[in-house]
Amino acid sequence: MHPTHHHEVQAGDGVVLAVEIDREIESDAITEKMTMVHPTNAFRDLESIRRTVAGKKPVVFLDYDGTLSPIVDIPDRAFMTDEMRHALNTLSSKYITTIVTGRSTEKVYDFVQLDNLVYAGSHGFDIKGPKTLPINCQVGDHFRPMLEQCVRDLSAAIAHIPGAEMEDNHLAVSVHYRHVAMEFQAEVEDIVDDYIIQHPSLVKKHGKKVFELRPRVDWDKGRAVMYILSELGLDAENVVPFYLGDDVSDEDAFSALNSRSIGKGISIIVRDPEATNADIPGNLKQLPATKAAYSLRDTIEVEQFLKVLVSLEEEAAALTSF
């Protein structure tokens, strides 16, 4: 069992959050030994997942882009299908469900348009729950003026590079280079790196054809997941958290669930084992290893898996009715 301690993080308006976090999670050098490039497809090991969930309460966390919606060339057109929305709505009627995304909370809500979810935008820096789940937390909200200035500065700095795009995600800033010609991509990164040097209170992270600038705060998707579980009274042995995501930032959540001292959660990476170089984050030459225990190929399999999770609850209800 890993030791835990109370972890304090500055939120908005001078509020300090005290969150009990596994000590292993706090280290940037996660000591989790099991990493894989191509984890087993979740559908091939459904019986094991069923046994893990049996008699327990699932809680579901989902990334948005690349998980609920396919990765698209134009970020503002990352729409989920009506079928996916229906599956997500049904799932959230059975289990507490959270969207954890790099998008702003408002932006992802506009895409999802469901009122019964928890939304954790800006990589978990901005958490808002529905009326039935009173949770509201903005970590690093005092960075907002700096991030607004960052959007203005970098928009001007990359304006001469064809295809480079800025996206304001409230408590994170995204610099997209998916449409930038290969010979200019290094220049985009140089501009971002120079800005980070001049503004050391921000940190750069890699995503899929995007550079993210976030507050240099001890917070990420993994800590956000653990905070939500704790705040909603779900950090318990009878709860099995699921996390489905496709991006580098989701690895923090996978590590958090793997390191739970009261039982691992179920971590699932969404990516095609035959992914092309265009799907590889940053400048890596091959798919990196993941901390996820399972995989799903694409958003179509995600939709199917959400339906399986709903069926688990229905099976449990049928058993208790006898």
Nearest-angstrom CA–CA distance, 58 and 80: 23
Q: How many helices (H) does the chain have, and how many strands (E)? A: 9, 15
Q: How buried is residue 102: exposed, middle or buried, by Cβ count under 10 Å (0-12/13-18/19+)?
A: buried
Catalytic-role residue among 22, 28, 63, 220 = 63
Residue located via tokens 């049996």:
54
> Which residue type does 83 have?
E
Verify whether residue 298 is a known catalytic residue.
no
For CA atoms 25, 29, 33, 35, the dihedral sign is positive
Whether residue 122 contacts residue 171, with contact meaning beta carbons closer than 8 Å, is answered with yes
**Cα–Cα distances in angstroms (integers) from residue 188 to residues 31, 176, 215, 281, in the given order:** 33, 9, 20, 15
DSSP tag of 261: T
| Residues tagged active-site | 63
